């Protein structure tokens, strides 16, 4: 299928056409009070911010970091940056009771990485950014979005479709943050593809509801930019309001007759766990046509349980639509059709893990659907060749919304885009033309929809008594009793096994303290148990494979006799292979 042609060339043009529509952006607070702005007003406010940015010296192409929670100030700053011809870089704001020292380090690192010219914040958050700004020293310092709003409207700079329109971090932390550079045309291609899959216009009642963070692709591109592109109405809920009271999300869908509302798997699980029937009195979910489920592995059990629990409120099983994407592809790569129930493929877990074959079995995987129109997805083996159906390989993607590259990092870009294909680092297979994901080749831990580099967790163990230095790995896995990905730490002990419990506790504390993520499982191992490369580097994926297969065993002790036997065996093997080669040549 060919890519649908975007109706406008840039986000700036999309915003202007939205401003001519009657629709609004509505912000909901913790008390479920509304603050609504028409798109006309959104454009007007953004124009003032653009004027303020230009007056302060922001020039075309400058990177403008935006550190603002979900609020009108965010959209003011985001669209204002674009109207000024600059590139918005949304970063996560600090959270209540969160750890500030780690936050400063990560924020300063990301500001430096994109060479931010200025940081735009709001009244509350700016008080907390001093340290990050002092470290990164952006050219024009820190400004309050509200001050910018008081400026005279600026002249709009008209970007070209191939100009940068957004830099989003695929995993934002002190360790190796990856700034994904997206051009205007990439964003528009994504919006056009999404609209072609959910084609009902706002005049037919299309309405988005999202509590997803706006510094993340699913909330920013999937909800905010898409709403401007349709154009249509959108209700935004701050993520912390959803986390505090998940029922607010479902109530908002009911109250505003929401039709599109995306969320990661964990959020659907959270509704099962933390929403009571009492909180849902009068709630009607019949309007919810597109319950998109992405950003982390999708659990068939959560799909089923969510559908069962909320069917009495009018939730349509066909609305539950697993999707797959990544920030390097702007957002979505594959999309499920509307159907009930969501498609599930039962496979043999052992054949899948050990031989890369999707044979029939009892381990269930959820389909994440088919490639978006205009997007090519291939499964490749280690030899780089395409794999047949039901054979596992690396998922590679090519299409109109794939990033230009990582911002000013030619090396990482070349590694991620070999031959013009995006190497997702995810493992999967096709069955009946649909994609199933079954693991990851890249080192990445996804907890609650957020990406983390394993080094982020491993660094917490440095200097911890009882752990062999440098001999621990952090991995993402779905525990047998859970429905979403969790953090696993495998560490080799230095000391006696009786101390394991205390060391495990210390590891948990150190990791949660510095990263905000609590390991689900910590396992202490005999020295030498973790698999390493010949140069001594830890092989994380192999460690996980062995852990899951129950094959993490300490190395055999080498004595002289065994060493001699090994030597003889390998000499014999070498001789045999030479012989075979000779035979082959004849």
Partner 1 sequence: MTLVSAPAEEELRGQALAEIRRILGEQRAAASASAGVELSQALVADIHLDSMELLTLAVGLENRFRVKLNEADSAGIVTVGDLVDLVVRRALAAAAAERSAP
Query: Which residues make up the interface to partner 1 (CB under 8 A)?
Result: 30, 93-100, 124-125, 127-128, 240-241, 243-245, 274, 448, 508-509, 512-513, 516-518
Using the minimum distance from each CB to partner 1, give the nearer residue, 29 or 44: 29
The distance of closest approach from Cβ of residue 274 to partner 1 in the complex, given in angstroms and rounded to an integer, is 7
Return d(Cα 408, Cα 79) in angstroms, integer: 23
Using the minimum distance from each CB to partner 1, give the nearer residue, 274 or 532: 274
The distance of closest approach from Cβ of residue 64 to partner 1 in the complex, given in angstroms and rounded to an integer, is 21
The distance of closest approach from Cβ of residue 93 to partner 1 in the complex, given in angstroms and rounded to an integer, is 8
The distance of closest approach from Cβ of residue 453 to partner 1 in the complex, given in angstroms and rounded to an integer, is 16
Please report the DSSP string for 12-49 in residue order: HHHHHHHHTSS-EEEEE-TT--EEEEEHHHHHHHHHHH
H/E stretch holding 381: none
Using the minimum distance from each CB to partner 1, give the nearer residue, 95 or 412: 95
Contacts of range 507-514, beta carbons closer than 8 Å, 24 or more positions apart: 507/460, 507/461, 507/464, 507/467, 510/460, 510/461, 510/464, 511/457, 511/460, 511/461, 511/474, 511/487, 513/99, 513/460, 514/99, 514/102, 514/459, 514/460
- Calculate the CA dihedral of residues 105, 214, 84, 126 and round it to 10 degrees: -40
End-to-end CA distance of the chain: 50
Using the minimum distance from each CB to partner 1, give the nearer residue, 281 or 481: 481
Residues facing 364 on adjacent strands: 346
Q: Which residues contact 502 (CB under 8 A, 6 or more apart)?
A: 466
The distance of closest approach from Cβ of residue 142 to partner 1 in the complex, given in angstroms and rounded to an integer, is 15
The distance of closest approach from Cβ of residue 517 to partner 1 in the complex, given in angstroms and rounded to an integer, is 6
The distance of closest approach from Cβ of residue 357 to partner 1 in the complex, given in angstroms and rounded to an integer, is 35
Q: H helices then E strands: how many in the chain?
A: 19, 26
Distance of CA 37 to the CA centre of its chain: 29
Using the minimum distance from each CB to partner 1, give the nearer residue, 3 or 95: 95
Using the minimum distance from each CB to partner 1, give the nearer residue, 108 or 395: 108
Using the minimum distance from each CB to partner 1, give the nearer residue, 359 or 505: 505
Using the minimum distance from each CB to partner 1, give the nearer residue, 9 or 509: 509
Between CA 387 and CA 391, with CA 389 as vertex, the angle to 5 degrees is: 60
The distance of closest approach from Cβ of residue 127 to partner 1 in the complex, given in angstroms and rounded to an integer, is 6
Burial (0-12, 13-18, 19+ Cβ within 10 Å), 459: middle
């Amino acid at each position: 299928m060919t890519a649908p042609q975007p109706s406008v060339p840039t986000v700036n043009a999309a915003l202007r056409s939205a401003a001519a529509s009657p629709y609004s952006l509505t912000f909901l607070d913790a008390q479920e009070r509304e603050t609504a702005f028409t798109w006309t007003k959104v454009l007007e406010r953004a124009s003032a911010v653009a004027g303020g940015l230009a007056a302060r010296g922001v020039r075309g192409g400058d990177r403008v970091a935006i550190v603002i929670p979900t609020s009108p100030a965010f959209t003011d700053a985001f669209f204002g940056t674009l109207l000024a011809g600059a590139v918005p870089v949304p970063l996560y704001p600090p959270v209540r009771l969160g750890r500030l020292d780690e936050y400063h380090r990560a924020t300063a690192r990301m500001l430096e990485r994109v060479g931010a010219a200025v940081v735009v914040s709001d009244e509350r958050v700016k008080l907390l950014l001093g340290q990050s700004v002092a470290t990164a020293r952006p050219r024009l310092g820190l400004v309050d979005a509200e001050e910018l709003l008081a400026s005279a409207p600026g002249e709009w700079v008209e970007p070209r479709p191939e100009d940068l329109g957004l830099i989003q971090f695929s995993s934002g932390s002190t360790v190796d943050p990856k700034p994904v550079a997206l051009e205007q045309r990439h964003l528009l291609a994504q919006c056009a593809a999404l609209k072609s899959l959910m084609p009902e216009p706002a005049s037919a009642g299309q309405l988005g509801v999202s509590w997803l963070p706006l510094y993340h692709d699913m909330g920013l591109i999937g909800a905010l930019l898409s709403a401007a592109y349709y154009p249509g109405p959108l209700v935004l809920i701050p993520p912390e309001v959803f986390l505090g009271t998940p029922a607010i999300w479902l109530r908002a869908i009911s109250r505003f007759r929401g039709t599109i509302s995306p969320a990661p798997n964990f959020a659907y699980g959270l509704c099962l766990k933390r929403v009571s029937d009492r909180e849902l009195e009068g709630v009607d979910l019949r309007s919810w046509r597109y319950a998109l489920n992405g950003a982390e592995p999708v659990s068939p059990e959560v799909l089923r349980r969510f559908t069962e629990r909320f069917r009495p409120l009018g939730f349509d099983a066909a609305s539950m639509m697993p999707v797959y994407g990544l920030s390097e592809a702007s957002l979505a790569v594959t999309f499920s059709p509307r159907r009930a129930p969501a498609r599930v493929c039962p496979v043999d877990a052992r054949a899948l893990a050990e031989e890369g074959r999707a044979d029939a079995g009892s381990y269930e995987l959820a389909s994440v659907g088919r490639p978006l129109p205009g997007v090519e997805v291939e499964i490749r083996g280690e030899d780089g060749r395409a794999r047949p159906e039901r054979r596992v390989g690396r998922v590679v993607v090519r299409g109109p919304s794939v990033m230009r590259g990582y911002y000013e990092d030619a090396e990482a870009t070349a590694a991620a885009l070999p031959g013009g294909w995006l190497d997702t680092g995810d493992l999967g297979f096709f069955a009946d033309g649909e994609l199933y994901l079954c693991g990851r080749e890249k080192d990445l831990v996804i907890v609650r929809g957020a990406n983390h580099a394993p080094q982020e967790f491993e660094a917490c163990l440095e200097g911890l008594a009882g752990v062999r230095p440098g001999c621990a790995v952090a991995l993402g896995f779905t525990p047998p009793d859970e429905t979403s990905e969790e953090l696993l730490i495998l560490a080799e002990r230095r000391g006696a096994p009786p101390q394991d419990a205390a060391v495990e506790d210390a590891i948990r504390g150190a990791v949660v303290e510095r990263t905000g993520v609590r390991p689900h499982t910590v396992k202490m191992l005999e020295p030498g148990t973790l698999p390493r490369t010949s140069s001594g580097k830890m092989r994380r994926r192999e460690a996980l494979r062995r852990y899951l297969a129950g094959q993490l065993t300490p190395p055999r002790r080498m004595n002289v006799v065994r060493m001699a036997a090994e030597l003889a065996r390998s000499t014999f093997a070498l001789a045999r292979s030479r012989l075979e080669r000779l035979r082959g040549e004849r």
